[in-house]
Structure 1
Amino acid sequence: MRRLILDTLRRATGTQQLRQHVRLLEEEVAHALQMPRADPQRLAAMAAQQAEDRPRIEQAAALAAALPPPLREALGRLARPADFPLQPWWERSLWEPVVQLAVRDHVRPGDIAFDVGANAGAFAQQMSRQAGPRGIVCAFEASPRIIGRTHHNLTAAGCHNVTLYHRAIWHRSGEAVHLAEGSHLNDRVEEGAGGTPVPTLALDDFIAATGLVPSFVKMDIEGAELAALQGCPRLIAEGRPIMALEQAPDDMRCHAVLTAAGYLAVDLGSYRRITAASDFANPTGVNNVLFMPAEKAAASPYFDPRQEVVANLAAAAFTRDAAGGARLAQPLDLPAGRYLLRADFSAEGRDNEVFAGIEAAGETVFRYHSFTAFLAECYRDWVVQLDRPAPILPFLRFLQGSDPTLNWRGVAVIRLPAFDGLAPPLVF
């Protein structure tokens, strides 16, 4: 436990992140205490060690919080590149699992793939494994404070088929933009932002210079997606890659550009066809959307509208804990396949922190991490791929606080039969 806490302190880049890491550590210990096969003596010792170390952690957090803001900011900038590590490639990643499935289904050995907005490198790492030694992955990250973390993580993971570029993908090459720092490594191009200027690059120019034409593009660049699409009309018209883009339901400009070029769109959260803003299940927030050339969509399971309800799990089927969290009392056995679990709940609480998702055969296979109001508004559709039959347990678990407004009404389990014959990657 002491080693875990020290590692937590080493990785943390600021007070807010420190507290988050400590809360997550506490949650994992609490969850372990509920596991029937755990060693009670070992867990008791771990809990005692945690209790012993907690005052020191709280004292360190209080001292950090008392620092003047300029000094706190300066110390945060001294964080080492290794301070935001990814999980090892051989372990399950819970980083945006709906996008992971799209990458899994469309990047094959020998492919060329682009990761535009690589952030810490999670998707470039996944693409690297799937494209394999004969494939090529080009990763682009604009943020000056993130690029070191990206480089460290990809190098540590042995992603030898990935080339990382410190460029802002834009509608023109050779300009410079500035990025404003976000609260969760979600930095974005913003007029008037300070810091180091970052050179811009248009994807069509990059492709012309390298001869690398991607078959798959993942793009998540915090609102700059339209500018990026405006910089690759030739790629869209001639290369016809499949694209996974992040977009807001109230901003359909990227959708308009791609549909005008003969693409079809489906929401990766709900597997609903998107032809207008009203097709999104949530009216606000952001969504991950798969855009596919119409000539490829006819053979794609993503554009098969069939959805079969296999179970309606009412609220009474869930146990509720003291904080108000919900967990299916008896596991639901499901055959292999792809499933959409549509959680039915409402909530208004914002001063809390929760995990919500799906366990399969005792392992968390899908998870969102947020507060209840945001989940209720934007993220009530959960997608899971079962490569073999497994018992599942949907859950919502509070890590911090509670929410008296949470009205948990149950979960509908929906099978997506078009994916039944889709073979997973042979190696990954």
Structure 2
Amino acid sequence: MRRMILDTLRRATGTQQLRQSVTLLEEEVARAMRPQAPAALPHQAELARLARHADFPLQSWWERSLWEPVVQLAVRDHVRPGDIAFDVGANAGAFAMQMSRQAGPRGIVCAFEASPRIIGRTHHNLTAAGCHNVTLYHRAIWNRSGDFVHIAEGSHLNDRVEQGAGGIPVPTLALDDFIAATGLSPSFIKMDIEGAELDALRGSARLIAEGRPIMALEQAPDDMRCHELLIAAGYLAVDLGSYKRITRGEDFSNPTGVNNVLFVPEEKTAASPYFDPRQERVAKLEAGAFTRDAAGGARLAQPMELPAGRYLVRADFAASGRDNEVYAGVEADGETVFRYHTFTAFMAECYRDWVVQLDRPGRITPFLRFLNGSDATLDWRGAEVLRLPAFDGVAPPLVF
């Protein structure tokens, strides 16, 4: 009970939430005295929704992170010592932590997380990682400041702004107003706010026109409004999953789901390796080159030796199973360096392109491994390995 009380107080981020948390705690204490009370379960579920950092801890900063690796590479390539970077939709804090290490002691990272359920995790993870150059803001980035929105809980850490959602109202903030107040104009922005990106961009018109930051933005192929806004402002776009230029929705490799897109001001694209279209085939790995395990997973039998560089491993398979859980990606010298985690049907539809950065020569092994269940419909046809030569001269962060 003592631990429950301490955890509740640590999780509360404001007066209103504190009152709500204490009320829930009082009810929980009363039920603990009457364990037979039939009304206990709904209230326990209510209490359980409050954020607990232990629910979803991040890896230590010195360990490899597999959190959205294609976006990690964009951060790696664009945030340098002394930079100002924004993490809009900080979630558990993985990208703010990466930006913090790369921007270093002279850099500044501003992280924004709107969800009352998630903000406690964000704060704990950034504090535990010693991110002293990060300031975390509990605000919903929006088209104007001073309003309030409500956040609907997602199935995982994907809470979102939703009209009519209940819970605690969260203040809104326009990035243009924030920059005017602080004098902090970012050179790089990562933005992933579960469908609210268009409103956030509308509140950033001055920044887009004058600051011209490079942006990694979540984009749905069936909703190109963010793309249209930025293209009209003089930006060009490339899909971070496939490294293909995006000029329309049909350019995405997958017709559904969401993609991470890099938007770069047109005047900066000549110097960007992301807009060099060269992709050189290194190998075509047929299905027979892979071993299959009892569950149906696939793994390259003999690791493939590659020099340092950036590669695109394009897996070729079809699947329709949904009642399973898989890891799929690439190992290098026995360590997983790229990994997606979902079920086979979604993997086959959306996540068959795997981007790998080798900072030294290595032996790579593409794989698909079942964690739970199997899929009789999985048709594994092999993989193609492409080299992206434009990245040969891109230096990794000196210190991270």
Superposed pair shares fold, TM > 0.5: yes
Q: 1:412 deviation in Å? A: 0.2
Q: 1:78 deviation in Å? A: 4.6
Residue 181 of structure 1 corresponds to which residue in structure 2? 153
Q: 1:389 deviation in Å? A: 0.2
Match of 2:271, SS state, is coil
Match of 1:298, SS state, is helix
- TM-score scaled to structure 2, two decimals? 0.90
Residue 206 of structure 2 corresponds to which residue in structure 1? 234
Whole-Å separation in 1 of the counterparts to 2:288 and 2:44: 48
- Alignment partner of 2:373 out of 401, 405, 412: 401
- Alignment partner of 2:307 out of 308, 328, 335: 335
Q: 1:76 deviation in Å? A: 1.5
Q: 1:79 deviation in Å? A: 4.9
Q: 1:71 deviation in Å? A: 3.6
Pairing 1:141–2:113 present = yes
Pairing 1:415–2:387 present = yes
Asked whether the equivalents of residues 284 and 384 of structure 2 are also in contact (C-alpha less than 8 Å), the reply is yes
Residue 76 of structure 2 corresponds to which residue in structure 1? 104
- Number of residue pairs matched by the alignment: 364
Identity value in percent: 84
Residue 284 of structure 1 corresponds to which residue in structure 2? 256
Whole-Å separation in 2 of the counterparts to 1:391 and 1:184: 34
- Alignment partner of 1:347 out of 319, 324, 328: 319
Pairing 1:356–2:328 present = yes
- Alignment partner of 1:220 out of 192, 205, 214: 192
Residue 272 of structure 2 corresponds to which residue in structure 1? 300
Residue 56 of structure 1 corresponds to which residue in structure 2? none
CA 74–358 in structure 1, closer or farther in 2 if over 3 Å, else same: same
Residue 3 of structure 2 corresponds to which residue in structure 1? none
Q: What do the CA deviations read for 1:299-333 (whole angstroms, capped 9, x no partner)?
A: 10000000001000000000000100000000000
Q: 1:75 deviation in Å? A: 3.8
Q: Tell me how large the CA RMSD over aligned residues is.
A: 1.3
Q: 1:84 deviation in Å? A: 1.9
Letter in 1 for 2:137: Y
CA 356–72 in structure 1, closer or farther in 2 if over 3 Å, else same: farther
Asked whether the equivalents of residues 51 and 121 of structure 2 are also in contact (C-alpha less than 8 Å), the reply is no
Q: 1:279 deviation in Å? A: 0.5
Q: What do the CA deviations read for 1:189-218 (whole angstroms, capped 9, x no partner)?
A: 001100000000000000000000000000
- TM-score scaled to structure 1, two decimals? 0.84
Q: 1:81 deviation in Å? A: 3.0
Whole-Å separation in 1 of the counterparts to 2:203 and 2:50: 34
Asked whether the equivalents of residues 170 and 201 of structure 1 are also in contact (C-alpha less than 8 Å), the reply is yes
Q: What do the CA deviations read for 1:220-251 (whole angstroms, capped 9, x no partner)?
A: 00000000000010000000000000010010
Pairing 1:165–2:134 present = no
Residue 28 of structure 2 corresponds to which residue in structure 1? none
Whole-Å separation in 1 of the counterparts to 2:296 and 2:135: 46
Asked whether the equivalents of residues 82 and 153 of structure 1 are also in contact (C-alpha less than 8 Å), the reply is no
Whole-Å separation in 1 of the counterparts to 2:104 and 2:194: 28
Letter in 2 for 1:127: M
CA 178–317 in structure 1, closer or farther in 2 if over 3 Å, else same: same
Whole-Å separation in 2 of the counterparts to 1:76 and 1:228: 30
Q: 1:67 deviation in Å? A: 9.8
CA 240–79 in structure 1, closer or farther in 2 if over 3 Å, else same: closer
Whole-Å separation in 2 of the counterparts to 1:410 and 1:69: 49
Letter in 2 for 1:187: D
Letter in 2 for 1:387: D
